[in-house]
Amino acid sequence: MAGIETIFSLFLLIALGYLGKRTVLSGQSLVPINIFVFYFAVPALLFNSVYQLPLDSFFKPVYLAAFLFGTVLTALTAALGCRFFFAEKNNEVLTIRALNGTFSNYAYMGIPLVYGLLGEPGYGALISIILLGNVFQIGGAQLLVEIHRQEGKGVKQVLQILDRSLLRNPIFVATFFGVLVSALEISLPSLFSTTLDMLAPATVPVALFCLGASLEFKTLKESKAELFWLVVVKLLIHPLIVLATFTAAGLDDQNWLLAAIFLAALPTGALAHVIALKYDIKEKESSLTVVLSTLISVVSVSLWVGLLL
């Protein structure tokens, strides 16, 4: 019951953001709030969590490999479904479809969800999977599109993509330096650690409020069968496959298992839409996937939580 109450409290914060955008907030007023969340609050929470954990608590290669394998299988399922059910033959489009069906809303929903449900014991898995998602899903999708467009020319373009998708990503940078401080067992000055302790708690409510404010449901009337297929893949097939890979591998760390399934069960993250927009590949459809999966996840994520907790 506690898990269900937690998940509904998270969605209530999303609802407040949706209401706020349509009553007292303007579109421009949300820009600095989103900047605060993405560049300050989320990195502070991630860094603050990582540097205090022993390195072996979040670096578990077998668990990460199981999650990655399950995600790759899900991406293939999404792409093959679009290829055979909806006659989509363009490789760039299939890449974006696979991203829509596997990339979760790690930052805005994953962090508060796992923190709210599992607390500190789930942080090691949370941090590792977020890092994995940014490296292999966002970075990998961009690499595939770039390689297809450039027909494999040179490595300079590949390095530029890695730079833009990782090295300038505050979530990746904060996590990396948190890992570095943890590995070197560096003791932070009290002024710095106190500031982080003040800033990090703002992540959960503000991130969910911003997510709610960004939702636009009026465009759902344009959705098609392919959109619903991707939503089913994201909310149902992805967590099922991740559960199957963990079970088949005999991995029994409950914190990692629950964190992995909850993260896989989340709706499509907004970064998938950003990538679609950047390359002008089915941008509207990607936006709709984010919106519809977020709406339906109110029920689906609650069911996953109820089943597993």
Task: Walk along the chain (309 residues) and give the pLDDT tens digit of each residue.
Answer: 445 666 677 778 888 988 988 888 876 777 788 788 878 887 888 788 778 777 776 678 999 999 999 999 999 999 999 999 988 889 999 999 999 999 998 877 888 888 788 887 888 888 889 878 877 888 788 778 877 776 555 566 667 666 665 677 787 788 788 888 888 888 889 998 899 999 988 877 887 787 778 776 665 555 578 889 999 999 999 999 999 999 999 998 999 999 999 999 999 987 787 788 778 888 778 878 888 888 888 889 989 988 998
Phi, psi of 268, rounded to the nearest 5 degrees: -60, 135
SS3 104: strand
Residues contacting 285, CB < 8 A, separation 6+: 100, 224, 226, 227, 276
Considering its fold, how many domains does the chain have in total?
1
Whole-number Cα distances in Å, 274 to 23, 46, 95, 187, 286: 26, 22, 14, 37, 9
pLDDT, tens digit, 9 for 90 and up, residues 99-142: 999 999 887 788 888 878 888 788 888 888 987 887 788 878 87
Q: Which domain holds residue 247?
A: 2-308
pLDDT, tens digit, 9 for 90 and up, residues 183-205: 888 888 999 889 999 998 887 78
Q: Which of 12, 261, 233 is nearest to 117 (CA)?
A: 261
SS3 268: strand
In terms of DSSP H, where are the helices of the chain?
2-21, 27-36, 42-50, 55-58, 61-85, 91-100, 111-118, 123-132, 139-150, 156-162, 170-184, 190-199, 203-214, 225-232, 238-248, 254-264, 270-279, 283-308
The CATH number of the domain holding residue 227 is 1.20.1530.20
Amino acid identity, position 123: Y
Residues contacting 17, CB < 8 A, separation 6+: 208, 209, 210, 211, 212, 213, 214
C-alpha torsion 177→181→187→188, nearest 10: 0
Burial of 202 from C-beta contacts in 10 A (0-12 / 13-18 / 19+): middle
